[in-house]
Amino acid sequence: MAYGEKVLDHYENPRNVGTLDKDDTSVGTGMVGAPACGDVMKLQIQVGANGVIEDAKFKTYGCGSAIASSSLLTEWVKGKTLDEASQIKNSDIAEELALPPVKIHCSVLAEDAIRAAITDYQGKQTATIEKKSA
């Protein structure tokens, strides 16, 4: 299969590969997909006191388009508020990377990953507040 230039660029030079401390309360972790299906995406965000995403890291097991989708996503979410980040649509990713129809599921997975990371982060905050008020 021929890949688009942007997919190749992200695949060959993936941005923000790495891991943040998943136990840190300022970190939200989203892991989506399944090994049996051929792709697993792990996306982590570090959120500042002002609710802005300061850092993002990813690791992905999957095809080139899945790697590119998650790499692009980390670039996009940095500097965004949680609210803004949750607005990112899979179609935006698919369009930016010019994904062919058979690879759209990779961008869907990326959208799932950022939502899961935000949910995880928000869950931690609620838990912290509950702990404090208890």
Partner 1 sequence: MSELKLPIYLDYSATTPVDPRAAKAMMECLTNEGNFGNPASRSHSFGWRAEEAVEEARKNVAALVNADPKEIVWTSGATESDNLAIKGAAHFYSKNGKHIITLKTEHKAVLDTCRQLEREGFEVTYLEPESNGLVDMDKLKAAIREDTVLISIMHVNNEIGVVQDIKAIGELAREKKIIFHVDAAQSPGKVPIDVKDMNVDLMSFSAHKIYGPKGIGALYVCRKPRVRIEAQMHGGGHERGMRSGTLPTHQIVGMGEAFRIAKEEMASENERIRSLRDRLLNGLNDMEEVYINGDLDQRVPHNLNMSFNFVEGESLIMALKDIAISSGSACTSASLEPSYVLRALGRDDELAHSSLRFSIGRFTTEQDVDHAIKVIRQAVNKLRDLSPLWDMYKDGVDLKSIEWAAH
Q: Catalogue the active-site residues.
A: 37, 106
Q: Which residues of 21-49 are buried (b: 16+ CB within 10 A; e: fewer)?
A: eeeeebbbbbbbbeeeeebbbbbbbbbee
| Closer Cβ to partner 1, 34 or 49, answer by number | 34
How far is 60 from 31, CA to CA, in rounded Å?
9
Length of the chain (residues): 134
Give the number of other CB atoms < 10 A from CB of residue 80.
Answer: 18
| Closer Cβ to partner 1, 31 or 52, answer by number | 31
How many residues lie near partner 1 (CB under 8 A)? 31
**Binding flag, residue 52, partner 1 (CB under 8 A):** no
**Binding flag, residue 15, partner 1 (CB under 8 A):** no
**Binding flag, residue 33, partner 1 (CB under 8 A):** yes
Residue 32 neighbours by CB under 8 Å, 6+ apart = 40, 41, 109, 112, 113, 116
In the complex, the smallest distance separating the C-beta of residue 39 from partner 1, rounded to whole angstroms, is 7
Please, which of residues 53-72 interact with partner 1 by CB under 8 A? 59-64, 66-67
Please, which of residues 80-99 interact with partner 1 by CB under 8 A? none
Which parts of this chain interact with partner 1 (CB under 8 A)? 1, 3, 11, 14, 17, 19, 31-42, 59-64, 66-67, 102, 104-105, 108-109
